[in-house]
Amino acid sequence: MDIPNFSSVRESTLETLLYNPQRILASFFNALHCDLVLYVHDMERRLTYLSESAQTVCDLSFEKWKLKNFELMLTPHPWNTNYRHLSDRDLKPDEIQLLRCEIYGDSGKTIQLEVRRTVILSDTVPVGVIGIARLLPSISQMFQSSSVMFNHTMDGATILARWGLLTENEKEVVEKVVAGDMNKTIAKKFEVAVRTIEARRSKVMKKLGLKNVPDLVRFHLLVRQWHEANRTDMAG
C-alpha cells in the first residue's frame, strides 16, 4: 500500500499542529489505512498523537505513551543509533525523511518499522514532527510477495541472481532511474551520451526480465531491503 504524501502545513496554532493531525494530513484520514500508523511529537519528542491503528500494528496504546518521549520505545537495535542521533531541527521544510527503527510494543515484543516523517512549522519555527510508520516485512515475506508484485513467480534467489548479472554501470543507472532521473539528466551526471544511457536501460530490463519502470522500482526495493537487512544481521 502506498503511503500518502504529506500535505503543506498552513495552520499556526500549536493545538492544531500537535494534537489534530487531520488538519495537517487530510489525505491520511480520507481513506482506511489499517496497516499504517500516524504519529505526532513535539520537539522534546513527546508523543502528542498516535492513531488508533498503533494498537494493532505496533502493540502500542496512546494513553500509555501520551506525552512520553518516544525514544523510550526503542530497542538496542543498530538502526536506532542513527534514529536517536538525527536532529529534528535539521529537517528542512518539505523534506520527507525515510528511516527505520525497532521498538518495543506494550507487551514487550519487538517491532521493526519503516518511517516517513517531516517537520511541523509554526510561523517558520519547528514545533514538532509528523510521521507515518508501517511494519517492515521480513525478508522471506518480501520475497514471497514478489510474485504478486511482478504478476509472475520470481523467488528471492531469482531476484538476487538477476541483480548479480548487472554491471556496476548498469546498477548505477538503475539507482538514478528509480530516483526519478530522466535519461538526459543521468547522461549528464555520468558524462556520457544519452544513447548510452538508453542502451544501458534496455540491457537492464532484459537482464532482469522486467517490462516497465514501476516493476524496476519494485525489484530494486526488494534488492535494497535484502542487502540492508543482511548488513544489519551481520552487524548484530
Are 160 and 229 contacting, i.e. CB atoms less than 8 angstroms apart? Answer: no
Q: Give the Cα separation of 18 and 2 in Å (integer).
A: 24
Paired with 129 in beta bridges are 41, 119
Do 22 and 49 sit in the same domain of this protein?
Answer: yes
Band (14; pLDDT cuts 50, 70, 90): low
For 118-146, the pLDDT digits (tens) are 888 888 888 899 888 888 765 555 555 55
Structural domain including 181 reads: 141-235
The per-residue pLDDT for 193 is 95
Do 183 and 227 sit in the same domain of this protein?
Answer: yes
For 144-164, the pLDDT digits (tens) are 555 445 545 566 667 788 899
Band (204; pLDDT cuts 50, 70, 90): very high
- State the CATH number of the domain containing residue 104: 3.30.450.20
DSSP annotation of 131 reads E
- Residues of the chain with pLDDT > 70, as a percent, come to 75
Do 119 and 147 sit in the same domain of this protein?
Answer: no
- Domain for residue 68, yes or no? yes
Do 74 and 159 sit in the same domain of this protein?
Answer: no
pTM assigned to the model = 0.56
Cα torsion 63, 64, 70, 75: sign = negative
Are 146 and 138 contacting, i.e. CB atoms less than 8 angstroms apart? Answer: no
Average predicted confidence (pLDDT) for the chain = 80
Q: Which among 226, 223, 9, 218 is positioned nearest to 96, based on CA atoms?
A: 9
> Which of 88, 119, 135 is the last residue before a domain boundary?
135
- Domain for residue 9, yes or no? no
Highest mean pLDDT among 35-39, 173-177, 199-203: 199-203
DSSP annotation of 3 reads P
Do 98 and 164 sit in the same domain of this protein?
Answer: no
- Domain for residue 5, yes or no? no
- Domain for residue 217, yes or no? yes
Do 192 and 165 sit in the same domain of this protein?
Answer: yes
Least confident segment among 58-67, 133-142, 158-167, 224-233: 224-233
* 66-76 mean pLDDT: 93
φ/ψ of residue 212, rounded to 5: -150, 170
Do 31 and 83 sit in the same domain of this protein?
Answer: yes
> Which of 91, 120, 135 is the last residue before a domain boundary?
135
- Domain for residue 3, yes or no? no
- State the CATH number of the domain containing residue 163: 1.10.10.10
From residue 228, give the alpha-carbon distance in Å to each of 1, 135, 211: 21, 16, 26
- Domain for residue 7, yes or no? no
Are 128 and 40 contacting, i.e. CB atoms less than 8 angstroms apart? Answer: yes
Do 41 and 130 sit in the same domain of this protein?
Answer: yes
Do 53 and 130 sit in the same domain of this protein?
Answer: yes
- Domain for residue 77, yes or no? yes
The per-residue pLDDT for 235 is 45
pLDDT exceeds cutoff 80 at 207: yes
Q: How many CA atoms lie within 13 A of 37 on its CB side?
A: 25
Report the domain count for the chain: 2
pLDDT exceeds cutoff 90 at 230: no
Do 220 and 189 sit in the same domain of this protein?
Answer: yes
Do 152 and 127 sit in the same domain of this protein?
Answer: no
Do 44 and 74 sit in the same domain of this protein?
Answer: yes
The CB density around residue 200, as the number of other CB atoms within 10 Å, is 24
pLDDT exceeds cutoff 70 at 110: yes
> Which of 135, 163, 196 is the last residue before a domain boundary?
135
For residues 40, 228, 94 and 7, what is the CA-based torsion angle, rounded to 10 degrees?
A: -60
Biggest CA-to-CA distance, the chain: 59
The CB density around residue 131, as the number of other CB atoms within 10 Å, is 21
- Domain for residue 8, yes or no? no
